[in-house]
Structure 1
């Protein structure tokens, strides 16, 4: 893979998709339907998916593109592949909370090695550079010219005063019981893959997820966090979370700075 091309294409594609999503977000109303798994889907999910799929297919012909909104792609597999959640945090989108993202990642041999997470309503753009370093770009986000970037680096946490981030829409007693095993100074919540980015930027130390997720939900944020020096581990045994699993479903996991002393369930 040409990582310089990948960086440019993923960044540009995420910005294009984010602009289309915001057009629909700004409308007076939009249709919300329920998929077979009971999750919501909107016109914005489908429009962003079509745009991203077309851009990636044109740039990387022959590459497998696994995307949430195309069920037929979930039965395909490859050692290396692109994986997309065109609108992560649809519940936040529907409720107009702003914590939704465009996620695009490149997986090699079971690990997401490059990714972009764009939160258009928040004006935050995170991605991995061609060299693997995770950055946050600031400015006006021109399509073909990157603006100033800040390299991301995870925190050096104080295990007696951790900052924990958890889901807005999927918080439950099991998660709260696990968080209670730590000495927590501050607790924050965020939607979508922004939680990975808050750990990557050092704004949080620990993000545990004791609930169902799919690889398209996590791959881009995972890549950004690893590019900032962080880790994403399986909850049950603290082994690295891998990708390309049958059906693309994830086990429970923990995303964290390496300095966090992890607790067992």
Structure 2
């Protein structure tokens, strides 16, 4: 696969999807429907999914595609595939809190190797370049022309003063109990896959997730974090979080900057 062409396409589709999402986000009230798993979905999820899926399938017809909004795609059995969450953080979108993202990633042999995370309301975009290094693009986001980029890298953490980021909508007592095992300098909440990106940029050192997630929620952020020198491990045994699992459901996990002294359960 030509990674340069793939990254260019993923970036363009993320921006175009973000434009559609923001049209609905900034418009009048929108309908919120409930999916079979009781999670919410809006016209923005569906429009972004249709745009991204069409673009990826046209360019890579032979590469399996997994997307949150297409139930049939969940039956794909492959170690290498494209995976999309067209609007990660639907609850943030519905409540107009801004912390939602467009996530597009490539998984190869069970590992997310390329990804883009675009937060259109926050005007932040992160992606892995053709050689797998992560950058943040700044400025206006033109789908056809790449703007200024800066390399991003995880921080060198101070275990006596860690920066922690946790879920805004899914915080629970188990998460707080785990965080309390660390010496924390500051704590912040964020929605969607932005949490991975905050670790990738060094704005946070540790992101524990002790709750349900799916692979399309995490693959793009995982790729960005890995491309910035970070790691994502299973919470239970501290082995690398792998992709292509049955049902595409994740176990609890920890995303972090190497150097954090991880606490065992």
TM bucket by the smaller chain?
A: over 0.9
**Residues 184-237 of structure 1: CA deviation (Å, up to 9, x unaligned):** 010000000000000000000000000000000000000000000000000001
How many residues align structurally?
Answer: 265
Deviates more, 1:126-135 or 1:55-64: 55-64
3-state DSSP class of the match of 1:177?
helix
Other-structure match for 2:250: 250
Other-structure match for 1:83: 83
CA distance in 1, matches of 2:213, 2:39: 12
Other-structure match for 1:233: 233
> How far did residue 181 of structure 1 move?
0.3
3-state DSSP class of the match of 1:4?
helix
3-state DSSP class of the match of 1:104?
strand
Deviates more, 1:141-150 or 1:210-219: 141-150
CA distance in 1, matches of 2:16, 2:143: 8
Q: Extract structure 1 runs of 4+ deviating beyond 2 A.
A: none
- 8 A Cα contact 2:79 2:243, kept in partner: no
Aligned positions of 1:21-32 closer than 5 A: 21-32=21-32
Which residues of structure 1 form unaligned runs of 5+?
A: none
- 8 A Cα contact 2:154 2:199, kept in partner: yes
Other-structure match for 1:168: 168
> How far did residue 79 of structure 1 move?
2.1
CA distance in 2, matches of 1:213, 1:187: 21
**Residues 158-187 of structure 1: CA deviation (Å, up to 9, x unaligned):** 000000000000000000000000000100
CA distance in 2, matches of 1:134, 1:261: 24
**Residues 5-53 of structure 1: CA deviation (Å, up to 9, x unaligned):** 0110000000000000000101111000111211110000000000000
Which residues of structure 2 form unaligned runs of 5+?
A: none
| TM-score in terms of structure 2 length | 0.99
Other-structure match for 1:95: 95
CA distance in 1, matches of 2:115, 2:77: 19
> How far did residue 144 of structure 1 move?
1.3
> How far did residue 141 of structure 1 move?
1.2
